[in-house]
């Protein structure tokens, strides 16, 4: 079995996907201690709470035998590369403290010299100086580098998420496997979450404390009841419309306060997918926003993935953030399959356990 270390591991989306593909993730590193329970409860890997700035090549190398392939994967915090943040950066001297995380990733590559590298992030990253520097560094060290903007439904993920996936190898050309689904085969919202019990806004399923939704005030309940699947706030009576919708600049912003459609993929699951007002996160039929479990399933976490210990209070904000920041599990599996196929073609041997 090939082995890997996961940087910025969060609650384990990428780790679980790699494990599902047959790669053993031996450790996940992240600064956020609130991710520890979910990471270790669902994965046979150790969670290391540590700032990547404090990591060294020796931290990485300790998990591998002398001649076995070393795999380093990770998804640096993507907020600095979002469309909103990149617009801000064009203003006076905007800097983001997380901007340097990809440079730290590159430093670790310098020190550890892994055989295989995978980096996943938002598509906008590819147009930034930090990405160009990262790719240039890899090529200067002899890596074969291949990057691709992935449309997640092409790989069985039921949301319209687009992600940048970079693969790099010291042993030859490497690339992501070809799409596994065509448009007619995309997994729909109904196929993904239609089996879950009905709940009310602010309620939860007694058999699954994570299948709970945020409460809604009376105005938003009226709004969602007036919303059509796939529609917009323009379907509402005028008295329900927000003041910002009535302004000229708000007329075209229709991707909020909306219901999803059963027969389509979901929108991109963000860290605020539990809120009706932050996107097209209204349930197709029930008068509420997505539950925490529904968002996790749309991120292709298994139905029984545990995000908090039995009896522990469910902190909706934290779990929504954990789920929204995660690499979709199935995308992690696709990355893992791609890496293994490459290593096998290159004649690399798996570790004997």
Catalytic residue annotation: 78
Residues counted in the chain? 353
| C-alpha–C-alpha distance, residues 167 and 314, integer Å | 36
| C-alpha–C-alpha distance, residues 229 and 282, integer Å | 8
Contact assessment for residue 141 and residue 109, using Cβ atoms and an 8 Å cutoff? yes
Closest CA to 318 of 13, 14, 33, 12: 33
Q: How far is CA 169 from CA 13, 22, 144, 338, in A?
A: 22, 19, 5, 11
Within 10 angstroms of residue 153's Cβ, the number of other Cβ atoms is: 23
Question: Nearest 5 degrees, angle CA 21-CA 44-CA 100?
Answer: 80
Contact assessment for residue 226 and residue 258, using Cβ atoms and an 8 Å cutoff? no
Contact assessment for residue 5 and residue 57, using Cβ atoms and an 8 Å cutoff? no
| C-alpha–C-alpha distance, residues 34 and 281, integer Å | 25
Are β-strands 70-74 and 3-7 bridged in parallel, bridged antiparallel, or unpaired? parallel
Question: Helix, strand, or coil here: 27?
Answer: strand
DSSP, res 266? B
111 phi/psi in degrees, rounded to 5: -80, -35
Contact assessment for residue 42 and residue 12, using Cβ atoms and an 8 Å cutoff? yes
Question: Nearest 5 degrees, angle CA 173-CA 178-CA 183?
Answer: 155
């Amino acid at each position: 079995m090939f082995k890997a270390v996961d940087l910025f591991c969060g609650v384990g989306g990428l780790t679980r996907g790699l494990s599902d593909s047959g790669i053993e993730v031996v450790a996940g590193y992240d600064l956020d201690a609130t991710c520890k329970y979910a990471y270790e409860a669902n994965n046979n890997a150790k969670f290391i709470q540590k700032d990547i700035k404090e990591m060294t090549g020796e931290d990485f190398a300790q998990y591998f035998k002398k001649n076995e392939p070393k795999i380093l994967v990770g998804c640096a915090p993507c907020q600095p590369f979002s469309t909103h943040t990149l617009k801000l950066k064009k203003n006076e001297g905007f800097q983001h403290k997380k901007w340097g995380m990809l440079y730290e990733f590159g430093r670790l590559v310098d020190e550890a010299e892994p055989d295989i590298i995978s980096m996943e992030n938002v598509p906008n990253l590819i147009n930034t100086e930090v990405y160009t520097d990262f790719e240039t560094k890899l090529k200067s060290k002899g890596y074969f580098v291949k990057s691709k903007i992935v449309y997640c439904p092409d790989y069985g993920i039921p949301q319209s998420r687009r992600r940048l996936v970079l693969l790099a190898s010291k042993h030859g050309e490497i690339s992501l496997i070809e799409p596994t689904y065509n448009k007619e085969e995309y997994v729909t919202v109904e196929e993904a979450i239609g089996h879950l019990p009905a709940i009310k806004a602010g309620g939860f399923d007694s058999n699954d404390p994570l299948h709970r939704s945020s409460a809604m005030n009376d105005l938003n309940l009226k709004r969602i009841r007036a919303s059509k699947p796939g529609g917009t706030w323009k379907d509402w009576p005028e008295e329900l419309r927000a003041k910002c919708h009535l302004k000229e600049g708000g007329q075209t912003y229709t991707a909020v306060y909306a219901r999803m459609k059963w027969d389509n993929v979901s929108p991109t699951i963000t860290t605020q997918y539990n809120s009706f007002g932050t996107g097209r996160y209204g349930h197709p039929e029930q008068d509420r926003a997505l539950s925490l479990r529904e968002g996790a399933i749309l991120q292709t976490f298994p139905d029984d993935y545990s995000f908090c210990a039995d009896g522990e209070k469910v902190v909706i904000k934290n779990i929504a953030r954990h789920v929204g920041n995660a690499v979709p599990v199935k995308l992690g599996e696709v990355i893992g399959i791609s890496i293994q196929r490459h290593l096998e073609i290159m004649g690399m041997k798996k570790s004997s356990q």
